[in-house]
Structure 1
Amino acid sequence: CFEGYFAPPAIGAVFVPLNFRLAIGELIECLDDCTPRLLICEPAFYSQALALLEACASVSCVFVTGSALDFDNAKRHGVEINGVIQSLPDEMRSLEASIAEIIAGASFADMQPSSFEETLILFYTGGTTGRSKGVMLSNKNFLCNTSGSVPLYKMQDGWCFLIVGPLFHIAAGARIFSCAVLGGHAIILPKFDVPEVLESIANYRINSATLVPTMFQMLIDNPLFATADLSSMQMVASGAAPMPMALQHRVIEAFAGINLYQTYGMTEAAPIVTSLDSQYHVVSGPGSEKLGSVGRPAPHVQLRIIDEQGTDLPPGETGEVLARGDNIMTGYWNLPEQTAVALKDGWYHTGDAGYIDADGFLFLEGRVKDMIVSGGENIYPIEIENVLSSHPAVHQCAVIGVPHETWGEAVHAVILLDDAVSEAPTERELITYCRERIATYKCPVSVSFRSEPMPLSPINKILKTELRKPFWEGRSSALV
């Protein structure tokens, strides 16, 4: 994975880490958008790789990681996909064997590194218009974020980092650069598993980790945590999703003696915007009043709060959060109109609502956009609504985030069925319908059916605030 982040820009290419959890149709959309020439995959993803090779005209070669011997066997005997043996085409090659051939022949590529302003990595993030957007991040963006984050989190030379987030996410990707500049080590786990995480921390003497709130909760709730050796840990950061206050209190107690940070960021900011320093992770006493915030802007970031007319608001007044800095993306790939909406005069419009207090701390109040954050994953309702609307029995639908004890929010669909439908679909049937068309993590976990039309605004937009009220009654729907 380090090769993926460092090798392409060394020859002036662009690296595009793909979300393997996406459905084939969604992956094809991404590849049709960025038109890559080369695809790299693990043997576990032969099925997806073959489908992409066939569907995407730009892909001329697929390198398969892992043992060259295993690949040779697969090439000779074929691979089983959905119960059928399929042969591997000539366009598929062993990455290990290819590298060995290059070294043996000394046929190295010409080094023509990307320039400071050129796109280094393209991260695809969910789109509010129903399609993924390619976020263009440059050398300048990552240098700015890395240079700012190392002192911000008091990282030290030679640290050992635990990376448990998927490498198609900006948080994990950005940590790779921090590790590299510090001459450190990275222990990269294929998935989050509590016993494996705790064992890795003890065995490899991990110094730092970045986790989402769900991971913190799973760690603390596991009986193994009580006897775990965390003596090497010096810093743990939380990000990707808001952490409920009750969980923050538990984390502060459970990770006593370890520097804790709460981070607010996004792919478009490469990713850090603000951070709540460890000194404010206290339940009572001086500084505890800041625990509900996401901290102050990182040194390389400027913040503004504006109203709907674009006027700057004074401290304490809620509006949309805007960020500016050398870490902010250059734009969305092939989407000039959406880029123009998101970036105005160098300011990135986050779509989040919040206020800055008199001390410069940012408090998030909610989302201007309807994005759902579930277990650290950003989910855009329009993607699910587009699928549900295609069902012949659905007349009207709205997708909202509802409270979930483990994931923070869960995807819930509100459905108004067509009067003409002869046989109404069940909740399970609609969920299955979605799972056949989009990534499972985006699909509703629950569905409710309405007998009356959706509540509408004067301009006929569905009032999702009204739909959310029954679920959030007595709870806080704020980001933090």
Structure 2
Amino acid sequence: MQGTQLLKRAVQCSPQRVATISGERRRSWAEVGTRVPRMAAALRSLGVEDGAFVAILAMNSDRYLELFFAVPWAGGALAPLNVRWSVAENIYALTDSKAAVLFIDDAFLEQAREIRPQMPGIATFVYMGDGPTPEGMLSYEALVEAHAPMADANRRDDDLYIIFYTGGTTAHPKGVAMSHKGVYLATCCYLALLPSVEDLTFLYVAGYFHFAGASALWYITLAGGTHAILPKFEALPVMKAIGEYKVTNAVLVPTMVNMLLSHPDFPQYDLTSLKTCIYGGSPMPEGLMLRAMEMVPTWGFYQIYGMTETGGFATMLRWRDHIVSGEKSSRLRSAGQAGFGNEIRIVLPDGSDAELGQIGEIIIRSDFLMIGYLNNPEASAASLRDGWMYTGDAGYMDEDGFLYVADRVKDMIVSGGENVYSIEPERALFLHPKVREAAVIGIPSEQWGEAVHAVVVLKDGASATVEELIAHCRTLIGGYKCPRSIEFRAEPLPVTPVGKVRKNVLRDPYWVGHARKI
């Protein structure tokens, strides 16, 4: 099984269909099918050998999409970098992956200038923007133009395809490694869950460095559909694009849905072409779901639950199960049933299976789980046990196989669809010279689902402001990971007998009256 087979089918079966819409550019599948082997040949000429990593730090674009196929076509593996990370965080990922080629667009030229002297191992910087090529970089389009197409390097099955970096629960982010077989099978199983595979046009608003943002690159390609690409989410461009491009499918986290429905210009746009709206990252509040059903009645909503390590999904709550009244209305609070190819269990601390309705840890098995964490066998062994992925999430199953996610075993915060591991802002706070203790929790937010909140104890005699500590965090970690609010306490934080901060004591008062804590 090859990830590149997805592209080959689209080129063969839908050659004249519009493949990509990016700004003013439109390209057919026939054109993409010519450009990808040319860029692959260019990468090979730059020294990209089988299994070597090629890194990308850029906003979404048609060229970025091409690299998802050109890099494996050349025999390499992709390492998309998080556009919201600091220079230090991206340098860690580049060092970990040992990438020798880095693709950059206009939004990250300044970061590239900071990275270059600190990463002498990166031999080549390739500019993939639309302006003049900066000094010391190669031009994406010139490389395509200068090279004849090469044959597919024929990477397949257990060969490494891509690595997605996730926020780390330990000292550093972890690189989730996916094989060609994993990507291919996850794509087929996911596509089979959708209500239609004909004449699809997908609108991209989430970054390709997320599995959730990238997965449609594969399944829409397999379906021979059209990729309508926006560099990021903004309400007006999204509404305009849905109407102009007749978008049929999109992935929108609940925060985005709320921003669209609340925009004053919402009534001016025809959004009826959109039939399938996938949401995930955080639950859809019931009030927002009811409002969406009323304001966009043509949209069918589908919730997914999963993680990068499970190939992006594990369960799906289909539109038919978004029941708002009656005996089965509780399903609206669930994460749905196991997706095709996935097996779900709820296990107790002793490893035995929980009873129906009993909370335990959610574990997942499929043929498209990650290979493991790059260069981190200890973390791989802790998460992958006997073929099962231990998610660190707590939940329960009902008699119809619907999964309910009750809380998190791991202290992860889901804010606006972004995963924030509390240890990262905590580590940043602890590096401030005035901070003695710090604990970070997720608290309810109407806008973000959860907001990052810090509880801080300062050193004796020290004083600091909220603004000072947040500014300090921003120098060390991405802005979305930084606390949005901070409370100062004079007394020590509550701890367990073994000295671990009792975060439930800090968190629970904020969640009184809220049905779901995730």
The reply to whether TM is greater than 0.5 is: yes
State yes or no: 1:28 paired with 2:69: no
What does 1:187-266 align with in structure 2 at a 5 Å threshold?
Answer: 187-266=228-307
**Counterpart secondary structure, 2:79:** coil
Residue aligning to 2:125: 62
Q: Distance in 2 between matches of 1:226 and 1:264?
A: 31
Shift of 1:403: 1.1
Q: Distance in 2 between matches of 1:399 and 1:178?
A: 37
Residue aligning to 1:95: 140
**Cα deviation code 1:428-449 (max 9, x no counterpart):** 1011111111111110111111
Where structure 1 has 5 or more consecutive residues not aligned to the other structure, the ranges are: 75-87
**Is contact 2:193-2:339 (8 Å) kept?**
yes
**Cα deviation code 1:213-259 (max 9, x no counterpart):** 10011011113223431222221111122222222222222232332
Match of 2:483 among 432, 437, 444: 444
Q: Distance in 2 between matches of 1:258 and 1:381?
A: 35
What does 1:153-192 align with in structure 2 at a 5 Å threshold?
Answer: 153-192=194-233
Q: Distance in 1 between matches of 2:361 and 2:350?
A: 11
Residue aligning to 2:465: 426
**Cα deviation code 1:50-94 (max 9, x no counterpart):** 222221232100000134x612xx4xxxxxxxxxxxxx33xx211
Kindly provide the amino acid, as one letter, of the partner of residue 144 in structure 2: I
Shift of 1:199: 1.0
Residue aligning to 1:78: none
**Is contact 1:261-1:275 (8 Å) kept?**
yes
- Structure 1: which 4+ aligned runs deviate by more than 6 Å? none
**Counterpart secondary structure, 1:99:** helix
**Is contact 2:260-2:266 (8 Å) kept?**
yes
Q: Which moved more, 1:144-153 or 1:338-347?
A: 144-153
**Counterpart secondary structure, 1:150:** helix
Shift of 1:109: 4.4
Q: Distance in 2 between matches of 1:346 and 1:254?
A: 44
State yes or no: 1:271 paired with 2:312: yes
**Counterpart secondary structure, 1:198:** helix
Q: Which moved more, 1:147-156 or 1:264-273?
A: 147-156
**Is contact 1:66-1:96 (8 Å) kept?**
no
Residue aligning to 2:412: 371
Q: Which moved more, 1:126-135 or 1:218-227?
A: 218-227
Match of 1:403 among 424, 436, 444: 444
Kindly provide the amino acid, as one letter, of the partner of residue 145 in structure 1: A
Kindly provide the amino acid, as one letter, of the partner of residue 244 in structure 2: N
CA shift in 2, pair 1:286/1:316, >3 Å:
closer
**Is contact 1:24-1:48 (8 Å) kept?**
yes
Q: Distance in 2 between matches of 1:194 and 1:390?
A: 37
Same amino acid, percent of matched pairs: 40
Q: Distance in 2 between matches of 1:461 and 1:476?
A: 26
**Is contact 2:272-2:298 (8 Å) kept?**
no
Q: Distance in 1 between matches of 2:132 and 2:113?
A: 17
**Counterpart secondary structure, 2:82:** coil
The two structures have a TM-score, normalised by structure 2, of: 0.85
Where structure 2 has 5 or more consecutive residues not aligned to the other structure, the ranges are: 1-63
Q: CA RMSD, aligned part only?
A: 1.4
**Is contact 2:104-2:129 (8 Å) kept?**
no
Kindly provide the amino acid, as one letter, of the partner of residue 415 in structure 2: S
Q: Distance in 1 between matches of 2:506 and 2:452?
A: 13
**Is contact 2:202-2:227 (8 Å) kept?**
yes
What does 1:314-353 align with in structure 2 at a 5 Å threshold?
Answer: 314-353=355-394
**Counterpart secondary structure, 1:322:** strand
Match of 1:309 among 334, 350, 362: 350
State yes or no: 1:151 paired with 2:213: no
Q: Distance in 2 between matches of 1:24 and 1:187?
A: 29
Residue aligning to 2:512: 473
**Is contact 1:124-1:134 (8 Å) kept?**
yes
Q: Which moved more, 1:342-351 or 1:238-247?
A: 238-247
Shift of 1:11: 2.0
Kindly provide the amino acid, as one letter, of the partner of residue 141 in structure 2: E
